[in-house]
Structures are given as structure tokens and as C-alpha cells.
Structure 1
Amino acid sequence: MRLALVTETFPPEVNGVSMTLGRLCHGLAARGWDLQVTRPVQEHEEVDSLTDKPPFEEFVVAGVPIPGYSSLRMGEPAGFSLHRMWKEKRPDVVHIATEGPLGVAALTAAKLLGIPVCSTFHTNFDQYSDHYSVGFVQRAMSSYLKTVHNQCARTLAPTRQMAEELAQCGYANTGVLSRGVDTDLFCPTKRDEKLRETWGVPEGGRAVVYVGRIAKEKNIDLVMKAFQALSKEHPLDRMVLVGDGPELERLKRKYPDVCFAGMRKGEDLARHYASGDLFLFASETETFGNVVTEAMASGLAVCVYDYAVGREYVRDGENGVVARLGDSCQFIEKTLELAALESEQLADLRQNARKTAEGISWESVVDSFEASLKSLV
């Protein structure tokens, strides 16, 4: 079968959506699917010089930076080109992963050709607007997203909670497409004591880790407040931020004692996870939150909100700690509760986190995606 997948983000870009789509495409290609991936050219990318060719066709269009996210790009609305290509070599199904101009153009082209369209709801862009001083556009953005997705035969969300919330908001034909975790890559055995030394973690101290974009919508300031409260009771602990983003320079100025590890990928990222002890993630805008399951697979004790991946996989007091969504005071309390655990209790919790992650395979996620696509055809 032939799938045309259209997205504004794709590897080697580093984010949860990009990683998920890459996994799905490689998984389907391994099962014999014929794929075409349409995406915008990425920052600093020379398309003609690409040497690592994926096992599928790529159609790369021009892109423009997303406001507030200069490193991410929206694709041009290449509807005419897609219509011409799909008319000559018709896909059995079109999957639209993002709702930007490129995704809408693809939706129009597919409907004109009578090709079934599936979509995924990956990112709460309407909630992001509150964090970038444009909250007045939230209602319009919410309406826009619903209109786009309701023109698709199915909208897949990464958790049951999100699928139910979308249905309550008027989204039609919602379903679930979860996300897996690579437990071979993200593993406690990748722990590196020399790396911990570069972080300045003294004997008897712990590394408190955050991985993700250093951005307002990730609620990064609450993570820092939680660590400040923790460090008053545990002065030997150190905070490590792994990632890049628009808030990075501000945080460097405000918190000179924090270790800023920058963007990390692959085995290097896995070492950074596994070399930590506690993991704080306070985002309220996630549709899933891959970094949480990666941290759990790496054997870290996680503190999250009862939301998205936290609601799906983290059980309070058993394999992590969970705070009520939006309750920043309780998030800090839960951080202190996690940090106050006896060493044996903390070890059990971290071991349970790893066991949970071992049950979340990418193979089952690809199974689910393939079944959804075939049912539409």
C-alpha cells in the first residue's frame, strides 16, 4: 500500500513529533509500505547534498520560520504540486501530521482527488498562544484546528485522555495512537560517572534533570522554582537542563549555578538521561511528552502533572510522583516528596519506572497506526 505523509517537522529535527513520525515511517517501510514524506526544508539543510537516504521517498518544499520558533519552519502550501504528483502516482491514503499551510494544502489536494485522509493531533498550538503574548488568538486557533481535523476521516491523539477531550470539544472520529520508547537506547546502563563530574555533582549529591525545549510553554520556570525549593533541603543536588530554546539565555543569566548541557541526540542524550537521578517535567501543553517515558526507561524518578503521559503511565508513589494539573504548589510539594524518599524507596521507584517503560514498545504503536490506515482504505 502507498502512504503519503505530510508534516512540518521530521528528523533530523529534534522534538517528540519529529521522532514519532520518523519511527512510524521506518516501521511501515520495514513492513513493505510504499511511502512518500512531504516536509519543508529544515534550517541549514542542503537538500541536494543529503547522503543518508531514508527507505522512502521525500518531497521537500520551501519553508519559512515559525514566529517565536525561528529554528522550526512551516512548509509552503504546495497544493498544486501535491495534486499533480498524487494524480500521477496515487496514494491509497494521505496522513496529515501537522495543521500548518502545507498540511491544509495537502488536505485540499487529497479531497479533490477523493483520497481518504487521516490526521494526528500532536501539538496544542492553541494553548501555546497564551505563552507568547497572543492569548487573544486562542479561540480562533482552536476553531481553526477543529475545522481542519474534522475534514479528515479520523483524528488520532496520543493518549485516551486527549482523544476524549477532543471528542468533547466537537472533534469527530477520534482515536488513539500512542507513542513508544526505545528501551535499548534509553537504559540505566548508560550511566556515566565522568559526565556527572562535569556537572559538578559532589559525592552524596544527586543530578536533577530536565530534558526538552527551553521554552515558556514547557513551564520551565516552575521546574526551576521546584529545584530551588529542593536545593534548600538538599544542597548537594545539582540541576541539569538538556535542550535548547528561546528561554535559554535568560535562564543562563538568572541561574548561573545550573548546568546547561545544550542539545543532545542519540547515545549522547541517553547518557545524559541515565546519569541523572530525578526528572522534573512541568509542561501543561503536551499531547504526550516523550521525554517522560525516555526518562523512565533510563531509570529516573519522575515528577509530572496528572496529564498526557503522566496520566497514561505514571502511578503516584509507585513509579513516579504526580501532581494535580495546574497546581504549581503541589508540583513543588511532590518534588520535595520525591527528593525526601529513602534510598531504598527511591531505588524501588526507579526500578518500577524502568519496568513500565519496558512495556511500551514502538512495534505495537506501528501496529496500531497501520491498522488505522488500512481501515480507512
Structure 2
Amino acid sequence: MTSLLIVTDAWHPQINGVVRSLERTASELQAIGIRVEFLTPQAFRTLPCPTYPEIRLSLAHKGMVRRRIRDFGCDHLHIATEGPLGLLAASVARSMGKPFTTSYHTRFPEYVSARLPVPLKWSYSWLRRFHNSGNGCMVATQTLESDLRERGFTNLMRWSRGVDEGIFRPYEGSVLPADLPRPIFMNVGRVAVEKNIEAFLELDLPGTKVVVGDGPQLESLKRSYPDVVFTGSKVGEELARYYASADVFVFPSLTDTFGNVLLEALACGVPVAAYPVMGPLDVIGETGAGVLHEDLREAALAALDIPREHCRRVALNYTWAASARQFLDNAEEARGKAADAA
């Protein structure tokens, strides 16, 4: 394989795990000689998603998408998201007889049900048809694979994630004000209802709670929790320095499929407290780099005793080079299966 086209509805100005994973995977593939291009909402007129303006919805039609896929002439097509652009790309690929893979990044049915009275089975039925129509669906963890398989998803392939250990590492000193009471309990990520951040903010914990990130729920949470430090969005080394300034990383999400932020926190030497659910079960599990408990307060307090150097050792088991190689192997396997079936 020499060329790859990735279609994604998730793109800048969004800052999230999907965008970062796709960018880093592309960078690693380009380093080994694979030509990688993206088809994103930036190529079309867009509208802001209701209640979530950072997400841009593409105003495209099949002819526009077909022309771009044809002009690129890719060896393999990967559709990363189930949004308007991803749906069009899948429809076009099927009409062209072009093999493609998809990836399941987000527990979309749970996200929808957190905002609208839509039954989970309806959303899963639609997603199952979309992902099963391709030649492979990439998932990040064993827990997610098992869950989707039980729901009737087929052709599942494993695609784990990595962490940039050069940026996300322990740093001397703290970027937080010196007068903040310690310990520092921190959450990093999109500030939105599906992230269940209030479960963290409601905890009776000593010290200070810090939330790093932006999103549609930010202003309302600022008003409701005036004692919490909200820093807004941070990226790169500045973000890593915020992680490293924490004593415990608290991850209250019940809907993430992986949680790249878990690896970033661990690489900075920060232990994790989380619920025993998909994502934390796979990343933390029995590693001893965090505490998983139905009582999140108990988990947060117990995590204070975990050695920071052990957390980093666990994170270093995940590399972007290995992740990209896994992605490429999946794409080549999917192409081979499609060729055999032709």
C-alpha cells in the first residue's frame, strides 16, 4: 500500500482524542513512506452542530465526495466517523465497489441518549448497519470489541492508541498557583455532558479540583462550582505541564471507548482514579497505575499512594509507531479480504 485517504467529520477546531489519534497515525504512516490525505469538513461549506458549535457539519453531496475520492486515487479508504461526511463516503465507496474500513471511536448512542430521548437500540441498529457495510471496523480495546460483537457488529479489528512520551512526561515545578491547596485532583478533556464531569466535581475531596478543557458545559459548570479551577483548553507541552502538576487524574466518564487522556496523564507520572468501565478497564486494568472503583471518591484518595514512576512505566507500553503499524496491517487485511471476495 502506498496511499491512504482518511475521511473524518471530527477535525479542527475540535481538540479531542479522535483528531489527535488520526493526526498522529498519519504522521507515523508518512514517516514510513505512506501517502496520507484527509477529507474533512474544511473542504466544504459547513454548519455548526446544534448545541455543539465546535463540531462542523459538512454541506456536501455524493458527487462532491465521489470526485474527491476518485481524484485522490487512494489504495485504501478509511472512514473514521459516522457523521454526514462519513455516511456520504461510505455510500459512495459502496457504489464504486471500493473497499473501505471504519473505526468506532465514540459511544455515539450513549452520547445521543445523554441529550435526547432516543432509545439506545435505535442508535445501535443504525451504527451496526454503517460499520458492517465496510470491510473492517477498527476498535481500540478488547472490552469495546466484546461489547460490539454482542450487539451484532462484525469484521472487528483491534487498533490501539499511543502516547507522545517526549511531550507527556514528568516536569519539574507546577504551572498552577503555588497557593492552591493540595492535593490537586485534575480532569482533562471536553467539557460536555457525556463526560460526566459533575460526578468528579461533586466529590468531597481535600485540596483542589482542576478542570482543563473547553466545551459546551464549561460556563454552566463555572457558575455551579465556583471553587473549582477551570483553566480552559491547553495543548502541547503546556497541557503536559498541567497534567504533571496534578497529584491524581480523575476520569469520571462512563462513555469513552479508550480515553487517550489516561495515557497522557500516566506518561506525566500521574495516577488515575476512574470507574471500572470500558476504557479504564483496558488501559489501567491490573497495572497498578490507578484505582478503579464504583466509589470515585475512594478511588481518588487511594490513587494518591501510587508511585509516579510506575505510572510512567505503564504508559510507555503504548507507542504511536505500534499503533500506526496496527492500523496499516488492518487496512491491508481488509483489502485482501475484499480482493478474495471479488
What TM-score do the two structures reach when normalised by structure 1?
A: 0.84
Distance 1:191 1:251 in 2: 30
The answer to whether 1:196 aligns with 2:189 is no
Distance 2:124 2:137 in 1: 15
What letter is aligned with 1:222?
A
Distance 1:272 1:223 in 2: 18
Rate the CA distance shift 1:279–1:85 in 2: closer, same or farther, 3 A: closer
Structure 1 segments, 4+ long, off by >3 Å, are 85-89
Match of 1:337 in 2: 302
Match of 1:56 in 2: none
Following superposition, the deviation at residue 317 of structure 1 comes to: 8.0
State how 1:177-256 maps to structure 2 within 5 Å: 177-188=159-170, 190-193=171-174, 195-197=175-177, 200-202=179-181, 205-226=182-203, 229-231=204-206, 237-256=207-226
Following superposition, the deviation at residue 172 of structure 1 comes to: 0.9
The answer to whether 1:361 aligns with 2:319 is yes
What letter is aligned with 1:103?
G
Following superposition, the deviation at residue 201 of structure 1 comes to: 2.0
Match of 2:340 in 1: none
| Larger mean Cα displacement after TM superposition, 121-130 or 313-322 | 313-322
Identity among equivalent positions (%) equals: 33
The answer to whether 1:260 aligns with 2:260 is no
Deviations, residues 15-37 of structure 1 (Å, cap 9, x unaligned) = 00000000111111222222221
Partner secondary structure for residue 269 of structure 2: coil
Please tell me whether the aligned partners of residues 4 and 35 of structure 1 are also in contact (alpha carbons under 8 angstroms).
yes
Distance 1:255 1:352 in 2: 33
Deviations, residues 307-343 of structure 1 (Å, cap 9, x unaligned) = 23311121458211012xxx4xx2222223334x4xx
Partner secondary structure for residue 246 of structure 2: coil
The answer to whether 1:126 aligns with 2:101 is no
Deviations, residues 219-246 of structure 1 (Å, cap 9, x unaligned) = 11110122xx122xxxxx1111100112
Please tell me whether the aligned partners of residues 8 and 40 of structure 2 are also in contact (alpha carbons under 8 angstroms).
yes
Following superposition, the deviation at residue 13 of structure 1 comes to: 2.9
Please tell me whether the aligned partners of residues 287 and 314 of structure 2 are also in contact (alpha carbons under 8 angstroms).
no
What letter is aligned with 1:337?
A
State how 1:48-127 maps to structure 2 within 5 Å: 60-127=43-110
Partner secondary structure for residue 13 of structure 1: coil
- Among 170, 173, 178, the alignment partner of 2:152 is 170
- Among 329, 334, 339, the alignment partner of 1:376 is 334
Following superposition, the deviation at residue 209 of structure 1 comes to: 0.8
Please tell me whether the aligned partners of residues 4 and 36 of structure 1 are also in contact (alpha carbons under 8 angstroms).
yes
Please tell me whether the aligned partners of residues 9 and 40 of structure 2 are also in contact (alpha carbons under 8 angstroms).
yes
Structure ranking higher on relative contact order (CA contacts 8 Å, 6+ apart): 2
Match of 2:339 in 1: none
Stretches of structure 2 that go unaligned for 5 or more consecutive residues are 336-342
Partner secondary structure for residue 128 of structure 1: helix
Match of 1:141 in 2: 123
RMSD: 1.7
Deviations, residues 237-293 of structure 1 (Å, cap 9, x unaligned) = 111110011221122112212111110011110110111111100101101111111
What letter is aligned with 1:156?
M
- Aligned residue pairs, count: 334
Rate the CA distance shift 1:37–1:295 in 2: closer, same or farther, 3 A: same
